Amino acid sequence: MDRALLDRFKDPELSRGLVARIFKLSEELDGTRGRTPLNIMEVCGTHTVAIARSGLAGLLPESIRLISGPGCPVCVTANSSIDHVIAASRLPDVVLTTFGDMMRVPGSSTSLQERRAEGARVEVVYSPLDALELAARSPEQQYIFVAVGFETTTPLVAATIKRAASAGVDNFSVLSSQKRVAPALDALAHDPDVALDALILPGHVSTILGVAPYRFLAEQYGIPGVIAGFEPVDLLLALAELLEQLVQQRPRIEIAYGRAVHEHGNEQARAVIDEVFEVADATWRGLGPIPRSGHVLRREYARFDALQRFDIASRTEPTVEPRGCRCGDVLRGVITPGECSLFGTACTPVNPVGPCMVSGEGSCAAWYRYKLGA
């Protein structure tokens, strides 16, 4: 994208105009509502970081409360799934490959970083294709890729598995914990502790999904949603459009990130997901089991499922949740990171107790880095 055009989305004058519009709409809305504050949740980890970095929350009326949701894929991965990854690192003659932000996530007893220090073969890669290439070079060695993510990364994982099958790379497999965003939003809409009024919908995921998977929010629950980009003007525009919907009492799903997201999303990417994976129930940290919120490999590709190939579940130690960690409540938007008693004391980026402090997209890490709530 042209740099001058991108800079427009950081324009102070545009931002001031949008803030003024938000205040005006907020005043109109305050006269029609019986409860305050207005709970607006962003459900993308990159949005969480962008909001914290820009100080956007401090520009808004007191009647608007921004809350973070389950937008960090590493953070929402259940502790039991992390323990499966740790168990996989103990398999003999196996190289475990993973993205870097998984290395320091604590499981029940240890982390991948500690396992590597103990001699486990754990390699950081930038793409599942890197892991496949390593496996193709060393056919005598088993390679497992830890696949954690939302619909943004699932198409590439699926394409990698297809390539492995086509090339006959049988020493490659995937330990998958892929999640689907829309069912989690459905669970949040049902949650009385969260009391959602509106949603800033994810930009990256929506490039794949488009608009249709979110429409139930407006149609069934009366919750408006706007798909937003990641610059200050993007986010302020999304907030203004959400408030306008609430004032009009006409909830709908809109796109405020038209330079990247189209109504129908990426149909080819969704097709490759559907070819390799099928929808299944999944467990989310903080949200618990959610029907049809995950993906598992179809029967045709089951030989690439590391969980089954190596019987990892039977090798996994009993799961123990980190004592005192309220990452799950942070992911539901029930509390802010600063309301956890461990935040900034027992739990810091140097010594994280839970994944919300580990991942670069985690709410706790963002709060700590930008000194929010200090």
The answer as to CATH 3.40.50.11750 being correct for domain 3-73+186-246 is: yes
Residue 1, pLDDT score: 57
Q: For the purposes of burial, counting CB atoms within 10 Å of the CB of 127, is it exposed (0-12), middle (13-18) or buried (19 or more)?
A: middle
Question: Six-digit token pair at 357?
Answer: 């402090």
Are the CB atoms for 304 and 161 separated by under 8 Å? yes
Tell me how far apart the alpha carbons of residues 228 and 246 are, in angstroms, rounded to a whole number.
Answer: 17
Provide φ and ψ at 147, rounded to 5°: -100, 100
CATH topology of domain 74-180+265-315: Rossmann fold (3.40.50)
Check residue 30 and give its pLDDT. 77
- List per-residue pLDDT tens for the chain, 374 residues long: 566 666 677 788 999 999 999 999 999 987 666 557 899 999 999 999 999 999 999 999 999 999 999 999 999 999 999 999 999 999 999 999 999 999 999 999 999 999 999 999 999 999 999 999 999 999 999 999 999 999 999 999 999 999 999 999 999 999 999 999 999 999 999 998 998 999 999 999 999 999 999 999 999 999 999 999 999 999 999 999 999 999 999 999 999 999 999 999 999 999 999 999 999 999 999 999 999 999 999 999 999 999 999 999 999 999 998 899 999 999 999 999 999 999 999 999 999 999 999 998 999 999 999 987 55
Distance CA 21, CA 240 (A): 7
18: Cα separation from own chain's centroid: 27
Sheet of strand 122-124, all strands in order from the earlier edge strand to the far edge: 122-124, 94-98, 142-149, 172-178
The CA-atom distances, in angstroms, between 336 and each of 235, 346, 349, 357 are: 20, 16, 17, 13
- Contact of 153 with 202, CB cutoff 8 Å: no
Residues of the chain with CATH 3.40.50.11740: 74-180+265-315
Please list, in sequence order, all residues whose beta carbon lies within 8 angstroms of the beta carbon of residue 305, skipping any fewer than 6 positions away. Answer: 173, 174, 176, 296, 297
**Tokens linked to 117:** 């220090």
Q: Output the pLDDT for position 9.
A: 77
CB 145 within 8 A of CB 176: no
Question: What is the predicted pLDDT for the residue at 121?
Answer: 97
Residues of the chain within CATH 3.40.50.11750 domain(s) are 3-73+186-246
